């Protein structure tokens, strides 16, 4: 890639626009003494079981093409990936037939279009290594409903016009599904926070919030 330390300046000399000033910053970090009494080292019990068993011959090392098994929407799927393969790429390009409901939009965890659930918690699939998710329950948009059998939230999305171009929709549906699963009585503020990590460029957010609240009411009433 280009190295822009050598740069052309549209005709100007480099000298007057040089930014080579190595000033030392003013002040330093104040030395703070410990005010609190002595600390105890925390002792803890194991929390999450490791997905990988201890190897007597040293730690498990994955290199090059590996076949792994992922639990996706309740079904075990074998897929060949590399260590660098993200869950998003595994879903969209390696599993056969491809699961393309989860969208690739920014690949940097900024837009939420790739939101999936891992053990019920929303994550950006573009920032998950597929190999890291062995043994976890992965839920994609395909696992939440079908056109013939829409989930309650999906029904309300349709009723309230929560989609325009629809490219952001799977991400929003997954993120809000997780929110309502935790609390069907979630307020609008809670719903907004739950999908604050999702982007819609068409601007359907107001309808999305209404759909989410309507779905929440039905779920809370057991409908």
Partner 1 sequence: MKSFRLVNPTTIDEAVALASDPNSGRVQYLAGGQDLLTEMKEHLAEPDRVVNLKSIPGLDVIDSSSGALGVGSLATLARIESDATIRAHWTALSEAAASVASTQIRSCGTLGGNLCQRPRCVYYRIEEARCLKKGGTECFSYGGFNKYNAILGGGPSWIVHPSDLAPALVALGAEIVLRSKTGSRRMPIERFYVLPADGDVTKETALLDGEIVIQILAPKPAPGSRSTYLKFKERESYDFALSAVAASVTLENGRVREARICLGGVAPVPWRVTRAEAVLVGRTLDAAAAREAAEAALHGAEPLSQNAYKIPLTKTLVERALLALVR
Partner 2 sequence: MSLEASMREDPPKKRKIKTTKVVNGVDTEVEVEIDDVAAIAWPERSKLRVLNQDIPRVDGPDKVTGVARYTHDVRLPGMVYARLLVSPLPRAKVVNLDVEAAKKVKGVVHVLVVKGTETGFLGDPVAAVSAESMDAAEDGLRALAAKFEPLPWAADHDSAMKEGAPLVAKSGNVSKAATDGDEAKARAALAAGAFRVKATYRLPVQHHACLETHGVVVDFRGGDEATVYCSTQAAHGFAGDAAEELGLPANAVTGIVEHMGGGFGSKFGLDKQGQVACQIAKELKRPVHLMLDRRAEFLMGGNRSGGIQTIEASCDADGKMTGFVVDAFKHGGLQAGSLAGMPYCYRPESHYRAVRSVRMHLDASRAMRAPGSPQASFGMEGIVDELAYAAGIDLVRFRKQNLPADAAWQHQLDRVAQEIGWADHPHKSKPGEASGQECIGIGFGVSAWGGGGSDDCEVEVRIDRDGSITAACGVQDLGTGTRTYMAAITAEEFGLAVSDVTAKLGSSRLGMGVGSGGSVTTASLAPAVKDAASKARVAFAAHLGQVLRLPAEGFRFEPEGVLHTGAKTPTVMTWKKACGTLPAEGLRAQGKWIESLAARGVNCTQAARVAVDPGTGRVRVLHMVCVQAVGLPLNRLALKSQIQGGMIQALGYALSEERVIDPLLGIQLNPSFEEYKMPHALEIPRMTTIIDDLDTRQGVIGVGEPPVIPGAGAIANAIYNACGARVRDLPITPDKVLAALGKVV
DSSP 90: I
Residue closest to 212 by CA, chosen among 180, 181, 166, 182: 180
Find which of partner 1, partner 2, none residue 118 binds, CB within 5 to 8 Å per kind. Answer: partner 1
Find which of partner 1, partner 2, none residue 127 binds, CB within 5 to 8 Å per kind. Answer: partner 1
- Note whether 182 binds partner 2 by CB under 8 A: no
Task: Quote the CA–CA distance of 71 and 57 in Å, as a whole number.
Answer: 27
Find which of partner 1, partner 2, none residue 146 binds, CB within 5 to 8 Å per kind. Answer: partner 2
Tell me which residues in 78-137 interact with partner 2 (CB under 8 A): 82, 84-85, 89, 92-93, 97-108, 110-111, 113
Task: Quote the CA–CA distance of 73 and 60 in Å, as a whole number.
Answer: 27
- Note whether 207 binds partner 2 by CB under 8 A: yes
Task: Quote the CA–CA distance of 38 and 135 in Å, as a whole number.
Answer: 40
Q: Which tokens belong to 173?
A: 């549906």
Q: Which residues contact 165 (CB under 8 A, 6 or more apart)?
A: 201, 202
HSE value, Cβ hemisphere, 13 Å, CA-based, for 170? 24
- Note whether 215 binds partner 2 by CB under 8 A: no
Q: Which tokens belong to 130?
A: 């597929």
Residue 176 C-beta: closest distance to partner 2, Å: 10
Residue 162 C-beta: closest distance to partner 1, Å: 18
Taking residue 16's Cβ as centre, other Cβ atoms within 10 Å add up to 7
- Note whether 203 binds partner 2 by CB under 8 A: yes
CA distances from 137 to 69, 70, 117, 118, 141 (A): 11, 8, 8, 6, 13
Find which of partner 1, partner 2, none residue 139 binds, CB within 5 to 8 Å per kind. Answer: none
Residue 148 C-beta: closest distance to partner 2, Å: 8
Find which of partner 1, partner 2, none residue 61 binds, CB within 5 to 8 Å per kind. Answer: partner 1
Question: Using CB under 8 A, which of 150, 184, 214, 218 touches partner 2?
Answer: 150
Residue 147 C-beta: closest distance to partner 1, Å: 26
Tell me which residues in 17-56 interact with partner 2 (CB under 8 A): 17
Q: Which residues contact 35 (CB under 8 A, 6 or more apart)?
A: none
Our CB check for partner 1 shows the closer of 11 and 32 to be 32
């Amino acid at each position: 890639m280009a190295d822009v330390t050598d740069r052309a300046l549209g005709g100007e000399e480099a000298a007057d626009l040089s930014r080579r000033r190595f000033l030392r910053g003013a002040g330093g970090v104040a030395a703070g003494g410990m005010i609190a009494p002595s600390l105890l080292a925390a002792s803890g019990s194991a929390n999450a079981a490791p997905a990988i068993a201890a190897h007597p011959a040293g730690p498990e090392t994955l290199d090059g093409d590996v076949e792994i098994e992922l639990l996706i929407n309740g079904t075990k799927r074998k897929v060949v990936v590399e260590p660098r393969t993200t869950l998003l790429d595994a879903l969209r390009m390696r599993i056969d037939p491809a699961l393309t409901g989860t969208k690739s939009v920014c690949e940097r965890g900024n837009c939420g279009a790739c939101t999936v659930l891992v053990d019920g918690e929303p994550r950006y699939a573009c920032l998950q290594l597929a190999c890291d998710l062995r043994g976890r329950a992965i839920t994609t948009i395909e696992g939440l409903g079908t056109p013939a059998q829409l989930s309650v939230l999906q029904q309300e999305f349709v009723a309230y016009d929560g989609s325009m171009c629809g490219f952001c929709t799977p991400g929003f549906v997954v993120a809000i599904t997780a929110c309502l699963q935790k609390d069907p009585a979630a307020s609008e503020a809670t719903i907004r926070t739950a999908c604050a990590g999702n982007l819609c460029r068409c601007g359907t957010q107001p309808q999305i919030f209404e759909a989410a609240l309507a779905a929440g009411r039905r779920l809370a009433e057991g409908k």
